[in-house]
């Protein structure tokens, strides 16, 4: 059979083809390619969607994190707590500011950091926490915010994988002083290239971020700060405005597939757990199993792709081994997840999900027979 793509951006494009064409033509006709009314309109619409007072678009999600940290004046001598189990960008952004990332363990049921995993990483040098809303759901932000208040720490939500998600009736991106997102094509809200945004509750911080993203320039030829160039293209803004209109519908489609997967896989795998006070937009659908590598290899043979997010703890990556701070020696859930997780295809236009469920079931039956035992997941 023909392989199923892990992500099918083409089907999504076909669905909105007409609207996207019109939006792109509008930008071409205006010949205003960076900044301008299209970008401004997107920022307004993003603010409305999330409920945040200020949204500053930028070139990508990694820059968004860097801009947030720079605006908080995070620098050499500071420590910032980041998850050990996530994409590299949060730790990278901290290091690029000259500060030190300290890697917190995650929960093995929700895959996110919690107040208790963060707490054990706090030192007198800690200045901020980046809580990544992983695979589509937010961390338990209320208790994390309480902890940050107690210790006078800034809280940043990395909402690159959770744009559109809800936590206690509030949208992801609107849960902390600063939040960031990415519009990389495969994210819940994806552009036709790179893009990102910072969401902000504070007017002065928002002004700082805007300044930093445009060479620290207050007016043409006047540079108040050392910034850099991190702007969003008008073409990307136009595409994002179209896709934003369809996001809520796409989220429902994704949630339906995730529900179907959960029913199909419960008892065979440890299925993903969602906080009762939250929702997921299912940026990834991630299962755990001790025989992960065998299962993925067999799925591949049957034309079903899987992905491993994430195969190695960030604290063990060569890039971070020279960090001077004493890192946690053990993050036992991070290490367990790195060896056991795999993600199945899940997107709004996935029509083959029942076929995927059937193939997974067949593989698991054979695995159980050959191993002569019930190879049900093992709790750590």
Ligand X SMILES: *Cc1c(COP(=O)(O)O)cnc(C)c1O
User: What is the binding site for ligand X (CB under 6 A)?
Assistant: 60-62, 86-87, 89-90, 132, 158, 160-161, 182, 184, 194, 196
Which CB, 131 or 268, lies closer to ligand X? 131
Q: Shortest Cβ distance from residue 195 to ligand X (Å)? A: 7
Q: Shortest Cβ distance from residue 64 to ligand X (Å)? A: 7
Which CB, 27 or 89, lies closer to ligand X? 89
Q: Shortest Cβ distance from residue 359 to ligand X (Å)? A: 27
Using CA atoms, how far apart are residues 190 and 61, in angstroms rounded to an integer? 11
Which CB, 60 or 214, lies closer to ligand X? 60
Which CB, 188 or 227, lies closer to ligand X? 188
Question: Could you give the C-alpha distances from 363 to 11, 20, 31, 276, 306, in angstroms and in order?
Answer: 28, 41, 54, 32, 14
Which CB, 163 or 333, lies closer to ligand X? 163
Question: 10 Å Cβ neighbour count for 131?
Answer: 31
Q: Shortest Cβ distance from residue 208 to ligand X (Å)? A: 20
Which CB, 91 or 268, lies closer to ligand X? 91
Q: Shortest Cβ distance from residue 261 to ligand X (Å)? A: 21
Label residues 82-105 b or e (16+ Cβ within 10 Å = b). Answer: bbbbbbbbbbbbbbebebbbbbbb
Residue nearest to ligand X (CB): 61
Q: Residue 200's closest CA among 46, 80, 95, 91? A: 46
Q: Shortest Cβ distance from residue 378 to ligand X (Å)? A: 28
Alpha helices, DSSP H, located in the chain? 9-30, 37-50, 61-71, 89-96, 115-119, 141-151, 203-212, 234-265, 292-301, 332-340, 353-371
Q: Shortest Cβ distance from residue 46 to ligand X (Å)? A: 15
Which CB, 192 or 265, lies closer to ligand X? 192
Q: Helices H, strands E: what count in the chain? A: 11, 13
Q: Is 117 helix (H, G, I), strand (E, B) or coil?
A: helix
Phi, psi of 74 (to 5 degrees): -75, 130
**In the structure encoding, which two tokens stand for residue 52, read together?**
């945040």
CA 350 to chain centroid, in Å, comes to 20
Which CB, 134 or 363, lies closer to ligand X? 134
Q: Is 9 helix (H, G, I), strand (E, B) or coil?
A: helix
By the 10 Å C-beta count (0-12 exposed, 13-18 middle, 19+ buried), 379 is classed as exposed
Q: Shortest Cβ distance from residue 63 to ligand X (Å)? A: 7
Q: Supply the DSSP symbol for 162.
A: T
Using CA atoms, how far apart are residues 86 and 93, in angstroms rounded to an integer? 13
Which CB, 42 or 363, lies closer to ligand X? 42
Q: Shortest Cβ distance from residue 24 to ligand X (Å)? A: 21
Q: Residue 379's closest CA among 273, 296, 285, 270? A: 270
Enclosing H/E stretch for 341: strand 341-344
């Amino acid at each position: 059979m023909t392989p199923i793509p892990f992500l099918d951006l083409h089907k999504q494009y076909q669905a909105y083809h007409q609207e996207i064409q019109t939006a792109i033509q509008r930008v071409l006709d205006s010949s205003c390619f960076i900044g301008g009314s299209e970008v401004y309109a997107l920022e307004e619409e993003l603010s409305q969607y999330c409920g945040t007072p200020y949204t500053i678009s930028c070139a990508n999600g990694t820059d968004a994190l860097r801009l947030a940290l720079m605006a908080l004046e995070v620098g050499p001598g500071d420590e910032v707590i980041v998850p050990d189990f996530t994409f590299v960008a949060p730790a990278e952004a901290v290091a690029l500011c000259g500060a030190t990332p300290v890697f917190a363990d995650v929960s093995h049921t929700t895959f996110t950091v919690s107040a208790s995993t963060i707490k054990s990483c706090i030192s007198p040098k800690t200045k901020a926490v980046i809580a990544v809303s992983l695979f589509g759901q937010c961390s338990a932000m209320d208790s994390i915010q309480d902890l940050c208040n107690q210790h006078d720490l800034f809280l940043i939500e990395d909402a690159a994988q959770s744009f559109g998600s809800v936590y206690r009736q509030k949208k992801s991106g609107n849960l902390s002083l600063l939040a960031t997102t990415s519009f990389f094509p495969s994210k819940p809200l994806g552009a036709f290239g790179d893009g990102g945004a910072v969401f902000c509750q504070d007017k002065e911080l928002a002004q700082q971020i805007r300044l930093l993203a445009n060479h620290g320039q207050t007016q043409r030829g006047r540079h108040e700060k050392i910034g850099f160039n991190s702007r969003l293209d008008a073409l990307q803004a136009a595409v994002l405005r179209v896709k934003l209109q369809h996001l809520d519908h796409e989220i429902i489609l994704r949630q339906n597939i995730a529900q179907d997967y959960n029913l199909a896989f419960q008892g065979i795998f440890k299925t993903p757990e969602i906080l009762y006070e939250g929702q997921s937009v299912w940026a990834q659908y991630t299962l755990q199993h001790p025989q992960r590598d065998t299962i993925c290899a067999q799925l591949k043979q049957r034309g079903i792709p899987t992905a491993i997010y994430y195969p190695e703890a960030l604290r063990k990556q060569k890039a971070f081994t020279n960090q001077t701070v004493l890192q946690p020696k053990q993050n036992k859930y991070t290490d367990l997840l790195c060896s056991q997780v795999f993600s199945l295809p899940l997107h709004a236009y996935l029509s083959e999900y029942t076929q995927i469920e059937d193939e997974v079931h067949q593989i698991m039956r054979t695995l159980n027979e050959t191993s002569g035992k019930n190879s049900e997941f093992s709790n750590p």
